[in-house]
Amino acid sequence: MSWVAGAERYYADFEPVVETLAGHGLSLHRADPSTKVDFITDEVLSHRLWHVCDEAGVTIRHVSGSPVATEANDFMTVIASETGDVVFMTPNLLYQAAAFEPMIKWTLINRAQSPGIDDGDMFLCNDPWVGAVHQNDVAVFAPVFHDGKLFCWVGASIHEVDVGGPAPGSFSITARDVFEEVPPLPPVKIVKNFEIQSDIEDLYTRRSRQPLLLSLDLRAQIAANNVARSRILEAIEKYGADTVKAVMGRVMDRAEAQLRARLRELPDGVWRHVDFQETAFAGDRGIYAGRLELTKAGDHLHFDFTGSAAQVGLINSATSGTRAGVLAGILPLLVGDIPWALGGLQRCIAITNPRGTMLNAEYPAAVSMGSITGTWLAHNCAHAAISKMMLCHPEHGRRALSGGGGSWPAMQLFGWDKTGYAFVTQFQEANLAGFGARSFADGVNTAGAYCIPSARIPNVEATEFTWPLLVLCRGEAIDTGGAGKWRGGAGGKFSFVLHKTNRNFTHVSAAFHVAVPNGGALSGGLPGASVVYSMQRDSDVLARLAQGQIPQEIASLSGTLDILPPKSQTEQGRDDVYAITFFGGGGYGDPLDREPESVLHDVAEGFVSRAEAARLYGVVIEGGAVDRAATQARRTIIRADRLGGKVPVARRDTPAAVPEGGIGLNDYTMLASRRLTCRCCGQDHGPADENYKLALVMRTMPIADLSPTMADPADFIDEPVEFRSFICPGCGTQVETEVALAREAPLWDVQLVH
């Protein structure tokens, strides 16, 4: 297999190759099917190996000098089988865990003969067509041998702040192909016989603007692998190789069995979602759709991305990135209480991903932003579709989550400190994004990203100590959480000025969901606000600081406000203030169903403004209290306005129970006797074999009207986009919402087999 062909063929090509590896002097330790393991040994040993994986992660945090790893946990450690199936992983950046299997399988196929795979070796890879999500996510993985046989693999990956290329931070926002980015490295032997190969290390670090940091992180990865290797060998010494391998196999088998059992509890059907990326490269004004059709049949899931936009600019991912996005969407939602043994879980999953699209980009497409573009888009689609599937079950629906953190708003910074030392960093404050609402509670404010369960934001003091800047503000931003019966988590805000440096900074900003919000709200909720990059130019901030004032909002400063586009490179001078508002989480349920006292609390805490409380929630606040009569009257007016002035019929106090044999799609719609009906008033919503949205009243709203913090999409893209709400024609309940291209018909998002 040539390295350009990438990972897409590794499943088909791999098994026959296993039998030929011995001809290259490589013998694999295969599980002995007759090995017996008692329950207690199974439990003790599986948890011991899980702890080994976690200990490797702790080693990275202790050795790495990068705040990406030490502060934000943007790394991954894994233990994989002899053939690369991931058995154990840490709860850090989930995308990176899925990358190890294709990389290890590719290495077995392509490196066993030359240069060989031996005890004491480690391989380094950041090639997206082999398995890496993008070039900044660098993996180092090592074979573990016992008695001359390859027993298993251990691996460690870190997002590196700079691995070279034209732009600081290695996100090449003008790139049209990979030749305008940092060149990817297919697996190369970075460690041989337990010694770092200095020539390969020089080749790797020479390209970076931060070579010392890159070398230190390399040693953190090597140390993590050494710790994992030694602990596994200790376990083998105590329990025997066959027992350890049998337990690893059992962990994967249990994960598969538990997921299949869960899937059998859910109804069969099809769930669809469309999400968007804008601005394929700096200066572009296009918008590009990622389309997913999720089919659940029995105990199997099929994710089909047919119809997604063609590869374009640098917003692409290779197919390995899309697979990583799908698996990251499954883990926290569907299998949060099942072992995250990817080697077992993925047996229940199939992915269709046509070549030449932005979710399966062919070489030499630009992919340097893959982890926060194509991969993240696939994750958003999978997350939304899985959540809607889970809502169709009364128990599993309680774990559904509205969308949140629509993408990772990258903030790459290049500058010089007071000593003249040049630095590059990536701010981890993007973990200030809000989580989406749950089906029974509000979303968590400034909680981070679903794909990094252990995400953290750096300590402000550590940030100011490390970099020549002064943080003015970091906290929750008002009116960013999506409105709903349960409010989406508030996104954060962050601003700073240069400090103790006489030279300008260079910013590289890169994200999507700047022009359009995350469309993953559930059951009639509104999406959270989009990210806003901005710079207040030529302000009076230094004079205000000299007076002892610390401005919390850039609107209070003099100067000119510069709203930055989704992909941009710009300078920050001494009098400029950089500010960003992060994504809010999507809401859940009709905002008019939110308890007025909860809205009052949101206003008091600064999560919702009084004006938005009245406009979106219909809650009137007077003198610090809810005006109950005025609120009821306003909500009646809003419901009638949704119906074009028609008086809505009376609603039930609580949604009707789903009859035996029926299925609830969400809080407001149920399927019974092959008809869809409103659970609030009994209004018929059409037959099960038709798009229920066509039986509802569709209302549209400009995207910019969703939140006072939202930009007008027309500032960044040319294609008209709109927000749609779908209203029960009987009682005026907001049943569902979507963000869509204005020219497209309503999406048939839930199609049950009944």
| C-alpha 708 chain-centroid distance | 25
- pLDDT tens digits, 141-163: 999 999 999 999 999 999 999 99
Element (H, E) at 212: helix 211-239
Please answer whether residues 566 and 512 qualify as being in contact, where contact means their C-beta atoms are separated by less than 8 angstroms.
yes
Q: What is the 3-state secondary structure (H, E, C) of 525-575?
A: CCCCCCCEEEEEECCCHHHHHHCCCCCCCHHHCCCEEEEECCEEEEEECCC
Predicted pLDDT of residue 754? 66
CA 402 to CA 107: how far, in whole Å?
38
Helix (H/G/I), strand (E/B), else coil: 13 = helix
Residue 2 has pLDDT above 50, yes or no: no
Phi, then psi, of 652 in degrees rounded to 5: -70, 155
Confidence (pLDDT) at 4? 34
For residues 61 and 303, the answer to whether their CB atoms sit within 8 Å is no
Cα–Cα distance for residue pair 713/513, rounded to 1 Å? 10
- What mean pLDDT is predicted for residues 76-91? 96
Mean pLDDT of 488-494: 96
- Categorize the per-residue pLDDT at 466 as very low, low, confident or very high, splitting at 50, 70 and 90: confident
In this prediction the pTM is 0.96
Domain 44-224 classification at class level: alpha beta
Local confidence band at 501 (pLDDT 50, 70, 90 cut-offs): confident
pLDDT at 578 over 60: yes
pLDDT of 6 reads 37
pLDDT tens readout for residues 593-620:
999 999 999 999 999 999 999 999 999 9
> Is the omega angle on the peptide bond into residue 187 within 30 degrees of 0, that is, cis?
no
Between CA 39 and CA 37 the distance in angstroms is 7
Measure the CA–CA gap between 631 and 306, rounded to whole angstroms: 46
Is pLDDT of 5 > 50?
no
Answer with the residue of higher pLDDT: 6 or 617. Answer: 617
Give the pLDDT band of residue 13 (cuts 50, 70, 90).
Answer: low
Percentages helix, strand, coil for the chain (3-state, rounded to 5) are 35, 25, 45
Model pLDDT, residue 32: 83
pLDDT of residue 3: 32
Mean per-residue pLDDT, 191-211:
96
Give CA 68 to chain center in angstroms.
16
SS3 702: coil
Domain chopping of the chain, boundaries:
44-224
Strand segments, DSSP code E, in 12-74 are none
Give the C-alpha separation, 729 to 697, whole Å.
6
**Rounded mean pLDDT of 121-128?**
98
Q: Is the pLDDT of residue 417 over 90?
A: no
Q: Which of 194-198's residues contact partners 24+ apart within 8 Å by CB, and which partners?
A: 194/120, 195/120, 196/222
Q: What is the mean pLDDT of residues 472-480?
A: 95
φ and ψ of 149, to 5 deg: -115, 145
Res. 20: pLDDT tops 80 = no
Confidence of residue 12 (pLDDT cuts 50, 70, 90): very low
For residue 174, pLDDT over 60 is answered with: yes
Q: Output the pLDDT for position 314.
A: 93
Q: Cis omega (within 30 of 0) on the bond before 115?
A: yes
pLDDT at 16: 64
- From residue 59, give the alpha-carbon distance in Å to each of 62, 219, 454, 455: 5, 10, 16, 17
Tokens of 31: 């599980």
Does 433 score more than 90 pLDDT?
yes
pLDDT in tens, 660-708: 999 999 999 999 999 999 999 999 999 999 999 999 999 999 999 999 9
Both tokens of residue 478?
């008002």
State both tokens at 136: 């900044």
pLDDT for 134: 96
Q: For the ranges 86-95, 146-155, 447-456, which has the lowest average pLDDT?
A: 447-456
Asked if pLDDT for residue 301 goes beyond 90, the answer is: yes
Element (H, E) at 252: helix 241-265
CB-CB neighbours of 64 under 10 Å: 24
* Residues shown for the chain: 754
What is the per-residue pLDDT across 718-745, written as a single tens digit (0 to 9) for each?
Answer: 999 999 999 999 999 999 999 999 999 9
CA distances in angstroms from 417 to 209, 211, 212, 497, 751, listed in the order given = 15, 17, 16, 13, 57
**CB-based contacts of 578, cutoff 8 Å, min separation 6:** 495, 496, 497, 507, 534, 535, 572
| Residue 646 burial by Cβ neighbours in a 10 Å radius (0-12, 13-18, 19+) | middle
- Separation between Cα atoms, residue 254 and residue 404, nearest integer Å: 30
With 90 as the cut, is the pLDDT of residue 258 above it?
yes
**pLDDT tens-digit profile of 513-546?**
999 997 689 999 999 999 999 999 999 999 999 9
pLDDT greater than 80 at residue 49:
yes
Q: What is the mean pLDDT of the chain?
A: 94
Confidence of residue 10 (pLDDT cuts 50, 70, 90): very low
Q: Do the Cβ atoms of 431 and 457 come closer than 8 Å?
A: yes
Contacts of 504 (CB under 8 A, 6+ apart): 415, 498, 571, 572, 573, 574
